Amino acid sequence: MELKNRTAIITGAGKGIGLAIATSLAQEGVHLGLIARTTTDLEVLRDALIAKYGVKVSIATADISVQSDVDSAVATLKEQLGSIDILINNAGIAEFGTLLEMEPETWERIMQVNLMGTYYVTRAVLPTMIEQNNGNIINVASTAGEKGFATGSAYCASKFAVLGLTESVLQEVRKFNIRVVALTPSTVNTDLARNAGLKIGDEERMMQPEDVAELALATLKLPQRVFVKTAGLWTTNPQ
């Protein structure tokens, strides 16, 4: 599928996987609407992408766990960019601890950002895609959404839920030529992983954000008549 001059919204775009996907799409000539919580990261990325690739880039700040923030951000980006052809639900948070160690407020916050944030952004974008009778949604989930682990109850629950959301929405909207895909990478060498205390090991051998971006790009380039429902990505030999 030709991506040039299409328009994508990316959440969590200021760093890590979101930044890598934004860069990959800009290289393909995709115009971008970038969402994150802080303006500084977005402004730096916007200026760099415009200068290097000549695409249109608009930015909006939002806490995706707050529906009014999401609705305002998506409305702003749509007004500035027009159509929304691609949505990358990438924003997420992680924190680990046993069920009894983790405070309920922290557990709820992880669910609110990772699950409800994905829901809010998808809900804000879908009417435009349905009206266009075309669209692509990629939800960045995790292998933690396929198999639970000790200390991961909140994070795993949120990512299991994202996979369930993805499966259900794709069944609802495929009749409108909208493809909904879940990516399930294992640990990626990002600030999020390091700050959450995940074992990174040899950073040179670990999966990089750019690897996930390549997978996202490959799924988008498939002929419109087909899509990959779930795509996993693993580090070959991290030790």
Burial of 12 (0-12, 13-18, 19+ CB in 10 A): buried
9: left (phi over 0), alpha (psi -120 to 50) or beta: beta
Q: Residue 198 and residue 13: Cα distance in Å, rounded? A: 21
Q: Residue 141 and residue 129: Cα distance in Å, rounded? A: 22
Catalytic residues: 155
What is the residue whose two structure tokens read 């249109």? 56
Sheet holding 31-36, edge to edge: 57-61, 31-36, 7-11, 86-89, 135-140, 178-185, 230-233
Nearest to 90 by CA among 159, 13, 25: 13
